[in-house]
Amino acid sequence: QVQLVESGGGLVQAGGSLRLSCASSGRTFTNYAVAWFLQAPGKEREIVAAVSGIGITTIYSDSLKGRFTISRDNAKNTVYLEMNTLKPEDTAVYFCATRRSYATRNQGDYDYWGQGTQVTVSS
């Protein structure tokens, strides 16, 4: 069983930045791809970014690429999401998820999920 804990969310003004963290309890962390998804109020969950186990492959949402960056520190069993130039429409609950395989953009492919962290961007 893998447990994921997100942190780093909060309230930020438009144009600001946040860094989210996703800490994993799993062993052999390098075998696991990790993804970030967001769910805005009244909308379906969608991919933000994903990274392969050793960090070579990254996948991004076309609409967010360029402002958001995913990275991982396998020594700390942690994946990060750096979010810059935040906009009010980025307001959502952000979830991290993991699977013991390659990175994909499909939420149905991920087996373990965190509880989410709220990001609110004020105008």
Over residues 36-77, the pLDDT tens digits come to 999 999 999 999 999 999 999 999 999 888 999 999 999 999
What DSSP designation does 30 have? Answer: G
Residue 27 confidence (pLDDT): 80
pLDDT of residue 19: 98
Which token pair is 98? Answer: 């993991």
pLDDT digits (tens, 9 = 90+) for 88-115: 999 999 999 999 999 999 999 999 999 9
The whole-number average pLDDT for the span 19-33 is 93
| Mean pLDDT confidence for 10-17 | 98
Instruction: Give pLDDT, residue 105.
Output: 97
| Res 26 pLDDT > 80 | no
**Given strand 4-7, what is the order of strands in its sheet?**
4-7, 18-24, 78-83, 68-73
**Residue 1's pLDDT band (boundaries 50, 70, 90)?**
confident
pLDDT above 90 (res 6) = yes
Length of the chain: 123
Transcribe 44-99 into DSSP letters.
--EEEEEE-TTS--EEE-TTTBTTEEEEEETTTTEEEEEE-S--GGG-EEEEEEEE
Q: How much is the pLDDT for 65? A: 84
